Structure 1
Amino acid sequence: MVGNSPAAGAVGLHLVGGLPLLRPDEQVFTAMLDGWRNQQLARSLAFSTIEGREKAVRAFARHADAFPWAWSPQMVDEWLGDLRSVRNLRRSTLRNYQGTIRSFCAFVTDPAYGWAEACQERFGTHPVQVIHEWNAAVHVQEAEADPAKRAFTRDELQAFFDHADEQVGRVRGRGRKGWLPAFRDAMLFKTAYAFGLRRNEARMLDVVDFGRNPRGPEFGEYGVLYVRHGKAKKGSPPKRRSVLTVFDWSAEILQQWAEEARPLFPTAGPGALWPSERSSRVGFTQMNTRFCTYRDSLGLDQGLDFHSFRRSYVTHLIEDGWDARFVQEQVGHEHASTTSIYTCVSS
């Protein structure tokens, strides 16, 4: 309770006490999820986070074939065991699922929200916490990324960029449509590497996100990149940072793209730097498909993904003698240990 008002997500805001329900099990469960959603919104969690959590809770309920007031730790063990053995999910993913179920159970068992009392009145039982220290995966090391994931070697990176450029010339030389999206993606890939960007950071760039750097006048209008859609912490808006241009060629390709190629897209407006043929901004599917096609065509291993551009950026700058603290600031890491994890051997 906040003063005389019920807390966001409280049972009284979603169920009328004593009112008979046509399908009480399903309706109470749905009301619980609605209440949990409101409680998370009150904590300023992202909509995508909330929706992902709800999907996980519903998936567990389907697997257990039971509603929250009948859940048990054994049901969680069976569900997570199936996810790992059948779907081969990563440990970090399983731990996220555990955290989601723990959070949901903490919500419905908290007396402040009244769900346990309501379930006791309607069903003669109440929800309990089903994730405990003894049945939860422990985060025992700082980095749990797939060990196959790595940076490009310098030769691999050059081969990738050369192949991307060749595809533009090949498609255009045949007089076929598609050369412009191919050119866009080649520029996008190079930009992601040139500024050490995450996939969403690269996708969400706008034309106005570049500016002059007084200490780097040689880069003109592309001396600094203002990242406005950085990786956010839970309950926080996207993290912003400024990334200084370090490669001479990056300013040249960006100017060429912005002045010569981008205006040819009929969807190009004043906003997105990377428009698509049908919308104002390129989608993740297009980016991923193109990347995987080029990678596989070159016979490169599956350990290379879009994030490898970022790994390569960190690795190559460190190898070239740039100050480690500068590199850390460029990629937006709070801790130097995180940057060190990104560093691979590129030769």
Structure 2
Amino acid sequence: MEVDEVGRVHLLQSVPLLHPEQQVVADMLQGWRNRQLSRNLQFATINPRVRYVQRFIEHLNVMPWEWTPRMVEEYFGDLRSIRRLSHASLRAHQSALRDFTSYISNPDYGWDRVCEGLFGTHPAQVFFEWNTAVHVQEFEGRPAKRPYTKRELQQLFDHADNEVARIVAAGRKGWFPAYRDAAMLKIAYSYGLRFNELRHLQTVDFARNPHAPVFGAFGVCKVRYGKSRSGSPHKPRSVLTAFTWTPEVLQDWIANGRGPRDGLDLFPSERGGLVVESTLLRRLRRYCDELGFPDGLDLHSLRRSYATHLLEDGWDPVFVQRQMGHEHASTTGIYQFVSDDFRNAALRAALDRTIKDADEQRPEA
């Protein structure tokens, strides 16, 4: 039995299978992987989907050609009640499994003939609209997630700087990762970056903006690893520097933190590779706990804060949309949180205008 590069299975009658069930499942997964590769999906997308299927098989201890809708409902009922999986995570699991069962039950790929010949049955689609989570809206994030207020951001950045100073003053190791993480938090906010965009930045990704010479050599940030659509490469974009303090952060980090290290990576790890998300997230969570911040703040909150604060400060929504790399304004609207301070100030200004107009129109006594 062989699986070609697009996932079709070819039977080799002269080769017996020592462990037919395990071999067929392994070949099914390989064929499905090949089909996804032929669709130009990224490995970061394919690998978790394969693990979802493997986990489903291990939990049920039932082969794919024996799956039933009832098994689907029991499995995801457990995930919801025990592991408290979010709606978006649940859909990701089910989407992967639905795609896999569509592949193995499609006669064009030949798995029905293989299973009929070896096991006397054939695989079928068991994931339907009536037993899986539906995609009801564009945004499926948790309601508790929110941006930082400007005061919280200032406290966070000051706390991160103080941590670096404390480590240096104590003569302890660890000043470099603390300094690097402090700079990463500030740059993530400065350009509204996702973590994967942030970690892939290089020193050559910055350039002058002739329309804003005040920023010097850091007027534009070229984001090369922007979020991609399914089956597409990373989407690059240019983000214009908007905050006057951003070049100072970059200059100081490159001169005194990163130093003359080999390679072009702006934020290398201690071992020279790229920083992993858990490293920065662990430090951020510790800082938030030490500052007594409430739940709902995470790394992505820096990106939320960037969009929110620009809009609050009166920047054009189209400009913010382009900076964020969104094709549609409705996507940027998801990030448009308006703080209580801003709303109160806007309300106060509107009331002041109303009172002033009323006074001007009131006839003299």
TM-score above 0.5: yes
Q: Does 1:282 align with 2:275?
A: yes
The residue aligned with 2:64 is 68
Residue 258 of structure 2 aligns to a residue whose secondary structure is helix
Q: Is the 8 A contact 2:5 2:38 kept in 1?
A: no
Mean Cα displacement is larger for which, 269-278 or 121-130? 269-278
The residue aligned with 1:205 is 201
The counterpart of 1:157, out of the listed 143, 153, 158, is 153
The counterpart of 1:16, out of the listed 7, 12, 15, is 12
TM-score, L = length of structure 2 = 0.90
Aligned positions, number: 338
Counterpart-to-counterpart distance in 1, 2:133 and 2:30: 28
Q: Does 1:299 align with 2:292?
A: yes
Residue 223 of structure 2 aligns to a residue whose secondary structure is strand
Q: Is the 8 A contact 1:168 1:179 kept in 2?
A: yes
Q: Percent identity?
A: 52
The residue aligned with 1:219 is 215
The residue aligned with 2:33 is 37
Q: Is the 8 A contact 1:7 1:112 kept in 2?
A: no
Aligned AA for 1:51?
N
The counterpart of 1:56, out of the listed 34, 52, 55, is 52
Counterpart-to-counterpart distance in 2, 1:45 and 1:137: 23
- Residue 7 of structure 1: how far off its partner (Å): 6.5
Q: Sort the Cα spacing of 1:6 and 1:283 in 2 relative to 1 into closer, same or farther, 3 A.
A: closer
Q: Does 1:196 align with 2:189?
A: no
- Residue 16 of structure 1: how far off its partner (Å): 2.4
The residue aligned with 1:330 is 323
Counterpart-to-counterpart distance in 2, 1:232 and 1:7: 24
- Residue 174 of structure 1: how far off its partner (Å): 1.2
1:31-84 deviation digits (Å, cap 9, x = unpaired): 100111111111111112111111000111112211111001111111111111
Residue 190 of structure 2 aligns to a residue whose secondary structure is helix
TM-score, L = length of structure 1 = 0.94
- Residue 216 of structure 1: how far off its partner (Å): 0.9
Counterpart-to-counterpart distance in 2, 1:34 and 1:292: 39
Q: Is the 8 A contact 1:207 1:270 kept in 2?
A: no
The residue aligned with 2:336 is 343
Counterpart-to-counterpart distance in 2, 1:326 and 1:281: 30
Aligned AA for 2:156?
F
The residue aligned with 1:312 is 305
The counterpart of 1:184, out of the listed 163, 180, 183, is 180
- Residue 181 of structure 1: how far off its partner (Å): 1.7
The residue aligned with 2:114 is 118
- Residue 18 of structure 1: how far off its partner (Å): 5.8
Q: Is the 8 A contact 1:229 1:238 kept in 2?
A: yes
Ranges of 4+ aligned residues in structure 1 off by more than 3 Å: none
The residue aligned with 2:138 is 142
Q: Considering only CA atoms, is the larger Rg found in Structure 1 or Structure 2?
A: 2
